[in-house]
Structure 1
């Protein structure tokens, strides 16, 4: 059994109503639901929320909302893994080798159905319990990062990197913030999912974190360029 769980709480601070704000004509949450439906690899698509308005919109676009998340799991300090563990327990999922859960973020409009299916296959073929997640490369060598001190002066993080050609520095990657596949038993562990994860590498032009108004504007411009004729989901 494959279950998609989309966390979507109602208390976003930096971008009010972030999870249901209109993104290219429909609630941003709807794009994630649409990708999950198009992937055609989930037995259920469940939205975990504490907000009835979000629940209504999620159901309108085809997701299930079998519960409202308790307040103690909906504040600024709640970890995503805690939200998934709560949903797993509520849904009665077990540790069967066939039970897998994909945590898909509500604000991930660049998620593609093909990537969801490819990640599921990576998880199924792995010889160990692991997590499959999307990642992308840094656009600039992070070894050459600088910090700014309290007086405004710069300081190299790694002075030795300045003497290296950029092509000789190790390529490094970061979480693309779209989705995470894992077996039920793996979600129950208190380990860092990136330590032994299997990253699905995406091109940088298909990745945009959305935490600020500037991020939101950039994401809409990117999305309109990449998917100019992408249809809104039928309501």
Structure 2
């Protein structure tokens, strides 16, 4: 039950493993002068709707750095059996929600450094004001010609060459933001519920770092944004 109808409690989780396969040490690697994970944590701390920010990690580097730089952030030590790169994120989150009480839970990643506090707040407000939905997840609009592995068109008729901007949009789950309840996570073993609300985020803000090229592009986009703000 919600603790306060007008101001629900919201706990935000940032899960981070110490090791990563494709971009070594990416969670704490320097990005535009600061460890990568600082950007999303700062964005979350600047959201007035968020009651508690939590880092779930097995990284001694992140634990030590977070204690020094983010004393108000709760650090959850990830247990041994959940540290494999093959462990589903939903299993990690089930462990996290068992340790932190809240009306709603929000999860994002350190690999989304361009995600703004205002966008997170907008997603929260939209979800809280949308009682017909039981969860929310971030998406990126795609208007491009897509094909399946057998070469069959997915979202267009190859015999009618529409301009890409005139194609009906499809949406990619971008992993930037999820909002859900403990009940939904426990029942479905999934962050996405029975009636999810898709929340669109612009491509330039939704950039997710999976590979080295993503790191470099995201860093360039961030520096360009800062130069524009300072000009």
What TM-score does the superposition give when structure 1 sets the normalisation length?
0.83
Aligned residue for 2:153? 158
Q: How does 1:1-235 map to 2 (within 5 A)?
A: 1-62=9-70, 64-91=73-100, 93=101, 99-142=103-146, 145=147, 147=149, 156-158=151-153, 161-167=157-163, 169-190=167-188, 193=192, 196-228=195-227
Distance in 2 (alpha carbons) for counterparts of 1:67 and 1:23: 24
Cα deviations across residues 190-229 of structure 1 (Å, max 9, x unaligned)?
2651763212212222222211111111111111112326
Distance in 2 (alpha carbons) for counterparts of 1:230 and 1:188: 42
Distance in 2 (alpha carbons) for counterparts of 1:43 and 1:188: 21
Distance in 1 (alpha carbons) for counterparts of 2:200 and 2:133: 19
Distance in 1 (alpha carbons) for counterparts of 2:189 and 2:52: 26
* Partner-residue secondary structure (3-state), 1:87: helix
Cα deviations across residues 121-141 of structure 1 (Å, max 9, x unaligned)?
122122235222221112522
* Partner-residue secondary structure (3-state), 2:81: helix
Which structure: greater helix fraction?
Answer: 1
Distance in 2 (alpha carbons) for counterparts of 1:22 and 1:60: 16
Structure 1 gaps of 5+ residues are: 148-154
Distance in 2 (alpha carbons) for counterparts of 1:11 and 1:36: 23
Q: Contact 1:21/1:28 (CA < 8 Å) preserved in 2?
A: yes
Cα deviations across residues 86-115 of structure 1 (Å, max 9, x unaligned)?
011122x26xxxx11111211111111111
What value does the CA root-mean-square deviation take over the aligned residues?
2.3
Distance in 1 (alpha carbons) for counterparts of 2:226 and 2:174: 19
Residues 158, 141 of structure 1: alpha-carbon distance in 2 compared, 3 angstrom cutoff = closer
Residues 139, 205 of structure 1: alpha-carbon distance in 2 compared, 3 angstrom cutoff = farther
* Partner-residue secondary structure (3-state), 2:188: coil
Residues 183, 146 of structure 1: alpha-carbon distance in 2 compared, 3 angstrom cutoff = closer
Moved more, 107-116 or 131-140: 131-140
Cα deviations across residues 121-178 of structure 1 (Å, max 9, x unaligned)?
1221222352222211125222xx365xxxxxxx622297211233564210112221
* Partner-residue secondary structure (3-state), 1:40: coil
Q: Contact 2:41/2:53 (CA < 8 Å) preserved in 1?
A: yes
What TM-score does the superposition give when structure 2 sets the normalisation length?
0.84
Q: Contact 1:146/1:156 (CA < 8 Å) preserved in 2?
A: yes
